[in-house]
Structure 1
Amino acid sequence: MIIYNVTTHVDHSVHDAWLKWMQEEHIPEVLNTGCFTNHQLVKLLETDETEGITYAVQYYADSKAAYNRYTSIYAARLRQAVADKWGDKTVGFRSLMQVVH
């Protein structure tokens, strides 16, 4: 199992709109690519929230090939949509993880 994690710091001024957009538009669009089987949206705790709130979305893929399909076909367009909509009001980074039992 592969976990594609996207951590995003969200400015207070757009927080509510961003969260609604993530839940109603962006996450469903990522899942509709067919590359991921599930997801989890979490809020990071014990972080400095002076300038905003930090979230992570974890998308679960059955294989590295499914993740690679996402990055090669869909990722650039979806990342650009985030940049176009939120500009410098969000800052994110991505990490790729593998479940170890």
Structure 2
Amino acid sequence: MLLYNVTTIIEDNSADRWLQWMQEIHIPQVMQTGLFVSNRLLKVVDSPNEGVTYCAQYIAENMDNYLAYQDNFAPALLAEVNENFKNQQVSFTSLMEYIA
């Protein structure tokens, strides 16, 4: 099992709109790919950054599913994020493997 984490720092004045968009549009689109078995959205409460920091996490059963998402869906979904929140957010990703 793999955990795909997307950490986003969003400007304060865009945070509410971004959060609603994530919950109503983006996360459902990611899950509709069928390549992740679950997801969660977290808010970082002790972030040292300006703005609001969130982590969207998606669980993939295996590397093939994660790579299929990256190859077939991630570019278009990332373009949509950039279109809707250009110059209002910065994101970075990490991929983690479950050990225990």
Calculate the TM-score normalised by the size of structure 1.
0.96
Q: Provide the C-alpha distance between the structure 1 equivalents of 2:15 and 2:43, rounded to a whole number of angstroms.
A: 12
Secondary structure of 2:93's counterpart equals: strand
Secondary structure of 1:88's counterpart equals: coil
One-letter code of the match for 2:94? S
One-letter code of the match for 2:35? C
Q: Provide the C-alpha distance between the structure 2 equivalents of 1:45 and 1:100, rounded to a whole number of angstroms.
A: 26
Match in the other structure for 1:19: 19
Match in the other structure for 1:70: 69
| Aligned positions of 1:52-91 closer than 5 A | 52-91=51-90
Q: Provide the C-alpha distance between the structure 1 equivalents of 2:15 and 2:44, rounded to a whole number of angstroms.
A: 14
Does residue 36 of structure 2 align to residue 36 of structure 1? yes
Q: Provide the C-alpha distance between the structure 2 equivalents of 1:71 and 1:14, rounded to a whole number of angstroms.
A: 26
User: How large is the RMSD of aligned CA atoms in angstroms?
Assistant: 0.9
* Stretches of structure 1 lacking an aligned partner (at least 5 in a row): none
Give 1:58 deviation, angstroms: 0.6
Give 1:48 deviation, angstroms: 3.0
One-letter code of the match for 2:95? L
Match in the other structure for 2:45: 45
Give 1:59 deviation, angstroms: 0.2
Say how many residue pairs are matched: 100
Give 1:13 deviation, angstroms: 1.1
One-letter code of the match for 1:35? L
Does residue 89 of structure 2 align to residue 93 of structure 1? no
Secondary structure of 2:82's counterpart equals: helix
The percentage of aligned residue pairs carrying the same residue is 39
Deviations 1:42-84 (A, max 9, x none): 01121135x3100001100000100010001000000000001
4+ residue runs of structure 1 moved beyond 3 angstroms? Answer: none
